[in-house]
């Protein structure tokens, strides 16, 4: 039978400090006996708070709010407008070709055949809209991916929510979509005649 040892003397309660926010949340909370004086602990907590605020500022800065507001979001908005415009334009052209066939006279079989051939060719060509609108949509998706990743990084840092399985923080923005690639905004870029002139012109250095 173990003999009961004499219990250690109780630590005095006077002179110990009340637990502060840092002490309450820190896994390395020092024992009361090791606790630094009040002033030193306060300085440490203020330092930790300042460091947290500094990192918050860095995360907020990494959002690139100005770039998002001035460039990416308006560009994505323009792309959506162009997708709508392209869809309307190509649909109109396809409808026009179909109506030419519907309204054509069949009295002259050769002329009718030629008209149908021309209309089918026109419809085939207009189907290229899928390629063009898909490239525009990819750029919109790229902008949304960028915004999502930046917001998720911030949200995760401030611990309002966690999305590490959804968002790959390691991927830099530019690797998802090259925003300069693909069709130019409607009304910009060169038409076929301008391109022919560039190709026929002198070499540019």
Partner 1 sequence: MNISPSTPILVVDDYQTMIRIIRNLLKQLGFEDVDDATDGTQALEKLRKRKYGLIISDWNMEPMTGYELLKVVRADDSLRETPFIMITAESKTDNVVAAKKAGVSSYIVKPFNAQTLKAKIDAVGEP
List contacts with partner 1 (CB under 8 A): 90, 117, 121-122, 124-132, 134-135, 181-184, 189-192, 195, 198-199, 203-204
State which residue, 64 or 183, has the beta carbon closest to partner 1. Answer: 183
Instruction: Count Cβ atoms within 10 A of the Cβ of residue 68 and give its class: 0-12 exposed, 13-18 middle, 19 or more buried.
Output: middle
Q: How far is the CB of 30 from partner 1 (least distance, A)?
A: 56
CB nearer partner 1, residue 43 or residue 195: 195
Closest approach of partner 1 to the CB of residue 163, in Å: 27
Give start and end residues of each alpha helix (H) in 4-159. 21-25, 38-62, 65-67, 73-102, 109-126, 129-157
User: Using CB atoms within 10 A of its CB, is residue 149 exposed (0-12), middle (13-18) or buried (19+)?
Assistant: buried
Tell me the closest approach of the beta carbon of residue 114 to partner 1, in angstroms. Answer: 12
| 50 Cα distance to chain centroid | 29
Nearer to partner 1, 94 or 152 (CB): 94
The terminus-to-terminus CA distance of the chain in angstroms comes to 98
**Dihedral sign of CA atoms 86, 87, 88, 89 in order:** positive
Q: How far is the CB of 174 from partner 1 (least distance, A)?
A: 15
- Given phi > 0 = left and psi -120 to 50 = alpha, else beta, which region is 203? beta
Q: What is the closest distance, in whole angstroms, from the C-beta atom of residue 92 to partner 1 in the complex? A: 13
| 65 or 171: CB nearest partner 1 | 171
Nearer to partner 1, 55 or 117 (CB): 117
């Amino acid at each position: 039978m173990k003999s009961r040892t004499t219990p250690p003397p109780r630590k005095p309660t006077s002179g110990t400090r009340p637990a502060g926010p840092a002490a309450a949340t820190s896994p390395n909370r020092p024992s009361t006996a090791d606790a630094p004086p009040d002033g030193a602990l306060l300085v440490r907590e203020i330092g930790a708070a300042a460091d947290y605020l500094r990192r918050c500022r860095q995360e907020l800065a990494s959002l690139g709010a100005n770039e998002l507001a001035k460039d990416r979001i308006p560009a994505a908005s323009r792309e959506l407008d162009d997708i709508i415009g392209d869809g309307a334009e190509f649909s109109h052209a396809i409808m026009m070709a179909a109506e030419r066939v519907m309204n054509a006279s069949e009295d002259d079989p050769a002329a009718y055949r030629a008209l149908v051939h021309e209309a089918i060719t026109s419809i085939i060509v207009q189907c290229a809209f899928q390629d063009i609108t898909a490239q525009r949509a990819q750029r919109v998706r790229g902008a949304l991916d960028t915004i999502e990743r930046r917001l998720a990084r911030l949200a995760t840092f401030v611990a309002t929510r966690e999305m590490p399985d959804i968002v790959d923080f390691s991927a830099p923005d530019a690797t998802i979509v090259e925003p300069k690639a693909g069709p130019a905004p409607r009304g910009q870029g060169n038409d076929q005649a301008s391109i022919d002139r560039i190709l026929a012109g002198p070499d540019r250095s």
